[in-house]
Amino acid sequence: MSLHLYQEKNVLTKEECETIIQKALPFLQKSQVTGEYDFDHFNQKKFRMSEEAHFHIIDDDVVTRKLRNKIKDISGLPISHQESICVINYTKDGYFLPHYDYFGHDTTDDNRSNQRLFTYLIYLNEDFEGGITEFPKENIKIKPETGLLITWNNVIDGTNELNPKSLHCSTEITSGEKWVVSVWVREHQADFTKNLLINN
């Protein structure tokens, strides 16, 4: 099994990144942890400290549609397989401990039968300290850059089984705040995109 990590710079311009940040600001809510990381409120706060906003396809504008099309081109899968665009904000002291994006056995059957094949992260800023994306089992550390896209496989090639090497985290923010977009690509059409798509 391998971790197929791909990076591409300047997928979005600085101005486009700022557009997404401003779009998300009024809708930020405390990030949640689901599935095999479904803790009580106290432990959840210890596991992850961030806020996020979600935008479905019906909410797309020129910038988010550009991003969706880029992900479609790289993944080779239609936009209908993409979850909502998740804009995540980590302020000072914010972090996300090592975790998988894969749906484990504590999640619903519907999720396990429609796995998150790939994760796409797009960094919206870089004027902060900390906030490194790490893959501890591969000893890989990625320093965020504005407009940089990274993607990796959450499952073992040719299966929908967990790829253990996809374990990753966001290290603690020591200064400033971090903005990042996360988009998960499923193996089948995502249920919440039904009736929202035309020619995708």
Mean pLDDT of 43-57: 84
pLDDT band of 58, cuts 50, 70, 90: confident
Please tell me the pTM assigned to this model.
Answer: 0.89
Q: Give the pLDDT of residue 67.
A: 97
What beta strand segments (E) does 101-161 contain? 116-123, 129-130, 133-135, 140-142, 149-153
Q: Give me the amino acid identity at 146.
A: T
Which residues neighbour 199 within 8 Å (Cβ) at sequence distance 6 or greater?
Answer: none
Q: Give the pLDDT of residue 190.
A: 73
Q: Is the pLDDT of residue 47 over 80?
A: yes
Domains of the chain: 6-189 (2.60.120.620)
Q: Is the pLDDT of residue 108 over 70?
A: no
Tens-digit pLDDT profile for residues 133-157 = 999 999 999 999 999 999 999 999 9
The chain-wide mean pLDDT, for the chain, equals 88
How many other CB atoms are there within 10 angstroms of residue 109's CB atom? 9
Mean pLDDT of 7-22: 98
C-alpha 1/C-alpha 144 separation (Å) is: 26
